[in-house]
Amino acid sequence: MELTDGENLSRAAQPRQLIVTVYGLYARQGGGWLSVASLVSLLGDLDIDEPSVRSSISRLKKRGILEAQRRDGAAGYALSGEALAILAEGDRRIFRRERATLDDGWLLAVFSVPEAERKKRHLLRSQLTRLGFGTAAPGVWIAPAHLHQPTAEVLRRLGLDGYADLFRADHLAFGDVSAKVRRWWDLDELEALYSEFLAEHGPMRHRWQRRRKVSERDAFVDYVRLLTDWRRLPYLDPGLPEELLPRNWIGLRAADLFFSLQGHLVDAARAHVARTIVG
């Protein structure tokens, strides 16, 4: 799942980001629909008041992410077809634990867009960035080869496949690939974002490890905020081979934290949502 509007990580996650997380986690099994009453209740657990929920829903509707629907007389909103496709693409990225290896090789994206269609050029560049590509040279974008399928799917869905070619490649020569990776991706910025994630959510693991009794509501609150902050990071970090990253790469610690907390929280959080929706 991943629908982001480019906002920063963090403690001040916007209501619409939290709503997208709730839909991505809990609405799809029921056809992508949640009642307004359920949304207001669940977002209330996250300290978001009803006017903010309704305002955020309106924005998501305007962006084509949610569609108004009534079911059994209840007002609610369903995920659009496009939103469902984006969330499915995101699942493979956000919940992927393994990283690329040096033997996997690279994916190169080369594109050419006429000047008259500069908006599509901008869209293509922004989508490659969102997918985690680095820039190897002007007009040549690079990513680990395991991203070939999601890249092809995204470009095809957005009608951009006619402007780009995708190639598998190996680095044969010249220079140190680790040094080049630092030029192709902004690892310093990524390290800062991982540090922020660890500082924000590291104490959460200690709290849950000390608890003898699980609060389903607390698990829901913590899991939604955790995933909202996490889901952008796997896009900025495309799963580069560990051998090419700085020693003791902070991204590995951040991933360990996320998946450890997910194991603690996911079942209890789902139980809280099921009870809230039924109630």
Q: What SS3 string covers the chain?
A: CCCCCCCCCCCCCCHHHHHHHHHHHHCHHHCCEEEHHHHHHHHHHCCCCHHHHHHHHHHHHHCCCEEEEEECCEEEEEECHHHHHHHHHHHHHHCCCCCCCHHHCEEEEEECCCHHHHHHHHHHHHHHHHCCCEEEECCEEEEEHHHHHHHHHHHHHCCCHHHEEEEEECCCCCCCHHHHHHHHCCHHHHHHHHHHHHHHHHHHHHHHHHCCCCCHHHHHHHHHHHHHHHCCHHHHCCCCCHHHCCCCCHHHHHHHHHHHHHHHHHHHHHHHHHHHHHC
Residue 3: what pLDDT?
60
Q: Which fold has domain 15-85?
A: Arc Repressor Mutant, subunit A (1.10.10)
> Which CATH code for domain 106-169?
3.30.70
pLDDT tens per residue across span 87-129: 988 888 899 888 899 899 999 999 888 888 888 888 888 889 9
Q: Which sequence spans correspond to the domains of the chain?
A: 15-85, 106-169, 183-278
Residue 72: what pLDDT?
86
Full-model pTM: 0.86
Residue 161: what pLDDT?
87
Please report which confidence band the pLDDT of residue 1 belongs to, taking 50, 70 and 90 as the band edges: low
